[in-house]
Structure 1
Amino acid sequence: MRQSRFFPVLLTTFGIVAMLPRLTSAAQSPATPLPLDQLRLFAEVFGQIKREYVKLVDDDTLLTAAIKGMVSSLDPHSVYVDKTEFQESQEQITGRFAGVGLEIGSEDRFIKIIDPIEDTPAFRAGIHSGDLITSIDNKSVNGMTINDASARLRGNPGTKVTLTLFRKSQNRSFPVTLSRALIKVQSVKATVPAPGYAYVRITSFQERTTPDLATKLRAIASQQPNLKGLILDLRNNGGGLVESAVGVAGAFLPPNSIVVTTNGQAGYSKRAYRATYPDYRLPSFERDPLQNESPIFKKVPLIVLTNAYTASASEIVAGALQDASRATILGKTTFGKGSVQTLVPMTRDSALRLTTAYYFTPNGRSIQDIGIRPDIQIDQYSDGDPDDALATREADVPNHLANIQDPNEREELEAREKDRIRNLHLYEEHTDAETPEQRRKNRERTSIEFGSSADFMLQQALNKLQGKAVLESRALPNGRLAQSDTPRLQSEPEAH
């Protein structure tokens, strides 16, 4: 069945979701006989639980748990979605919800902060990416699903919620009480960090991202007619709508360029998205927002900033611009989320979010487990980025999908794990050797305000565009810490 162009595709750290009409099993694959022996075993286990479990469990609870267990056993991004979870997906698309402003995942039985959304209660409280939530309102999150945690974090504006956080970089736990608010995520922000240079930050890919980007670009072209360079910031961007990602890439690529391709078992999963209006059109706008775009943005020198929390739709944009040699990728290796999930309605109140395809960059690269590797590695802070060893990427998630293009993946992942453990030991040795003054400085270190004058990575991007020396990362390409404490310098002629 062909995907309707009016069903947006959602890409996040936790999945790319194509919202399609319900598909019959015959439409998806040839009919196969049911495994009767296994079904009999299931019925026997079901009956045993009903008869002998310590307390009575209703049929609905058991069957729903069985379905959820079956789906979640496939990979980290396939899930059985209930009515509440579906509503949360819709809220993410529109960018409006009531809560504290956190994007979350899971790690080591705890809830992990992927990103505190800018200008929200969580961001203003100084919560960091990578912090672990160990309890919500004094209730342990051990074993709690992301959906359960999300439901506890959300609530009516003005109500309070207390989180207990563990910050690995400081090896300490502490409580934070937040007042919930109506979160309105502004997905596109733009500034002029230096005359002749523009900075655009995209926090997520929502319904209005492409039109909002077009508005910002028109303003930049008007204010900076002699634009010399542009920085596109995708750090901590966990994804969003694929149409919006295609539109963003299309703003900088030649018309009709391939942005991303997908391929899976079902017919609808095999397609190519191009930098053309039909492929980034959404119901919320009636005409092509990029129609009157200034031609300068097709050729102006471009740098894309990435980190470990640049995921999914963001990786599609970074990969498309990198493959086309249209941009220099600067920062850290991205998350490595390279699969597609399709949201199929099952009942009035439920749906199946099932992994149905891999996606590939225009040159045919699968970034699954690998991510987008930067052309220039840059640390988050001027004094290094030892915390990078603590970052969790797709390759670290249990039961993740394999990269089908990499025959040596197992050996590479084993080597990566050894490197990660080595880095953790180096990190611990570095922490143990710190003076009391250094420890106090680390405790008081706040999250980088992206786009500010204190944003070290942004300053290095500006240096690159201006032909000045660039302080490259202290980490080697494979993630190990460099032997020298002196950052490497890179200088090139000024780009025009």
Structure 2
Amino acid sequence: MTFFNFFKHSVFLILFYSLAGALLPAYAKTDSEKQKLEAFFKDLESFTRVFSDIKQLYVDDVDNKELFDNAIKGMVTGLDPHSNYLEPKEQKDLLESASGKFGGLGIVIGMKDDSIQVISPIDDTPAYRAGIQAGDLIVKIGDKPVRGMTLEDGVDLMRGEPETEVQLTIVRKNKKPFVVNIVREIITITSVKGYLLEEDIGYIRISSFQNPTAKLLKETVNKLVKENDRYLESLILDLRNNPGGVLDSAVDVSNLFIDKKGLVVYTEGRIPSSNLKFKTEPGDIMLSSPIVVLINEGSASAAEIVAGALQDHKRAIIMGATSFGKGSVQTIIELEDGYGLKVTTARYYTPSGRSIQAKGIEPDIALKNISLENEKEESVIGDAKEKDLNGHLEVEDDPSELSSEEIIESQENKKEEQDKKTIEKLKKDYFVHEASNLLKALTVLNKQ
């Protein structure tokens, strides 16, 4: 350390201790408060000493702003996996995700030890189609190991221009590490899909909770009622691998099925503004008909709020596996120059007072992930035809021979055929199969 730098550091410390001496009697009234304030200044001294040493000794000259930004990031990310110091682009991306349209692979992720963990793949996205599963650990992105990265670093590497490829090295339970190549695309989420599983039994899948989700859910129920020619006698609400989303959306969705006074969810934090109660608004669109909610380890956050609310109000039977356990509230604070702070400010509690955080929602009926289909080895070449290949070109009628009415009818027929395939696939889904059997039994009991 040069004499000049030593002099600067010493001057700072003299000013520092003078400030500490002035503040101690003014703000510390008790011995305990004095000790806390002394400890605070000691920690602040350590920080300034490290800052000074880096400025003087590090191999490259580092800009002050870069050092302060890194210090803030470390301070915030060290709190929990969900608190972040957001740069302008990250803040913009966060707002876009709430609207239901954003770029990337289509996975919700978090940090676990030195890996990035997949909380849930989002339906009909590149990651979902590539077979990425909840619980997968991403250990390498391209040729860069994840170890030592922040979550934001990982997100930046996975995001990119649409139609470009990214390579992920995945570790999955009971499997050797394997590589998946995924092509990025603009992610546009249709958060609600519904099918008439069979007469009087509706099936609705909510893949994430965004601003329009409750409205779409109500429209989907009305569509199924019209298709059924009468009110549905029961409903399967599928929240598996739903990573959550907007809190208000979860509250609105819950209120579509609850018909009595009470709470949907409440939050508790250290400051009064973090202590909130979200009340029910009577008006059950299913008219008290039985509901089964499906959850698994990929159901998180807003999905857990809905499952917990319907479970506590005895409005639905929860089936599946214990959910992820993401029961904390993040508040976004706008900072200067487009920066933001996402910080955990409270915990979620179900109406009966159960904490979701790190515990999750336990199902009323636990199910194992069993396949109802006979798994057969299929010939890779053998009888394979062009129509069996992924991405094959469809048969195309000569447009000159088709009227606009015929084109519309053709499109409707294709959709109807696709819906039939989806329903057949759902009937072979063990979770859906068990939920359907339970609902049939409950419907019979209700009619007696």
Same fold per superposition (TM over 0.5):
yes
Residue matched to 1:243: 248
Match of 1:203 among 200, 207, 230: 207
- Deviation sequence 1:94-123 (CA, Å, 0-9, x none): 111122222222334222222222222222
SS in 2 for 1:61: helix
Residue matched to 1:113: 118
Match of 1:462 among 423, 436, 440: 436
- Cα distance in structure 2, aligned partners of 1:303 and 1:237: 16
Residue matched to 1:181: 185
**What amino acid does structure 2 have at the position aligned with 1:145?**
T
- Cα distance in structure 2, aligned partners of 1:173 and 1:440: 23
1:287-436 mapped onto 2 (5 Å cutoff): 297-382=286-371
Residue matched to 2:129: 124
- Cα distance in structure 1, aligned partners of 2:271 and 2:103: 37
- Cα distance in structure 2, aligned partners of 1:176 and 1:351: 33
Match of 1:273 among 264, 278, 282: 278
- Cα distance in structure 2, aligned partners of 1:495 and 1:108: 49
RMSD after superposition? 2.8
- Cα distance in structure 2, aligned partners of 1:366 and 1:141: 31
- Deviation sequence 1:181-216 (CA, Å, 0-9, x none): 121111111111111100111111001101111111
SS in 1 for 2:62: coil
Report if the CA contact (8 A) 1:253-1:298 is conserved.
no
- Cα distance in structure 1, aligned partners of 2:46 and 2:110: 34
- Cα distance in structure 2, aligned partners of 1:310 and 1:360: 16
76 and 113 in structure 1: CA distance in 2 versus 1, 3 angstrom threshold: closer
Report if the CA contact (8 A) 2:84-2:343 is conserved.
yes
Of the structure 1 ranges 338-347 and 308-317, higher mean CA displacement relative to structure 2 is found in: 338-347
159 and 74 in structure 1: CA distance in 2 versus 1, 3 angstrom threshold: closer
SS in 2 for 1:211: helix
Report if the CA contact (8 A) 2:122-2:242 is conserved.
no
Report if the CA contact (8 A) 1:237-1:310 is conserved.
yes
Query: Structure 1: any 5+ residue segments left out of the alignment?
Result: 1-31, 278-292, 384-437, 442-448, 469-491
Residue matched to 1:452: 426
TM-score with structure 2 length normalisation?
A: 0.76
Structure with greater helix share of residues: 2
Q: Is residue 160 from structure 1 mapped to residue 165 from structure 2 by the alignment?
A: yes
- Cα distance in structure 1, aligned partners of 2:99 and 2:317: 30
- Cα distance in structure 2, aligned partners of 1:152 and 1:93: 21
Residue matched to 1:434: none
Report if the CA contact (8 A) 1:251-1:298 is conserved.
no
The structure with the largest alpha-carbon Rg is: 2
Q: Measure how far apart 1:382 and its partner are.
A: 4.1
Structure with the greater relative contact order (CA < 8 A, sep ≥ 6): 1 or 2? Answer: 1
SS in 1 for 2:59: coil
- Deviation sequence 1:232-261 (CA, Å, 0-9, x none): 111111111111000100000016541011
What fraction of aligned residue pairs are identical, expressed as a percent? 42
- Cα distance in structure 2, aligned partners of 1:106 and 1:75: 9
Q: Measure how far apart 1:495 and its partner are.
A: 4.6
Residue matched to 1:193: 197
Q: Measure how far apart 1:38 and its partner are.
A: 2.2
- Cα distance in structure 2, aligned partners of 1:439 and 1:215: 39
1:86-101 mapped onto 2 (5 Å cutoff): 86-101=91-106
- Cα distance in structure 2, aligned partners of 1:452 and 1:307: 16
How many residues are aligned here? 367
- Deviation sequence 1:52-92 (CA, Å, 0-9, x none): 12332221121112112222222332222221221221121
- Cα distance in structure 2, aligned partners of 1:46 and 1:364: 45
Report if the CA contact (8 A) 2:371-2:428 is conserved.
no
Report if the CA contact (8 A) 2:322-2:363 is conserved.
yes
Residue matched to 1:67: 72
Q: Is residue 36 from structure 1 mapped to residue 41 from structure 2 by the alignment?
A: yes
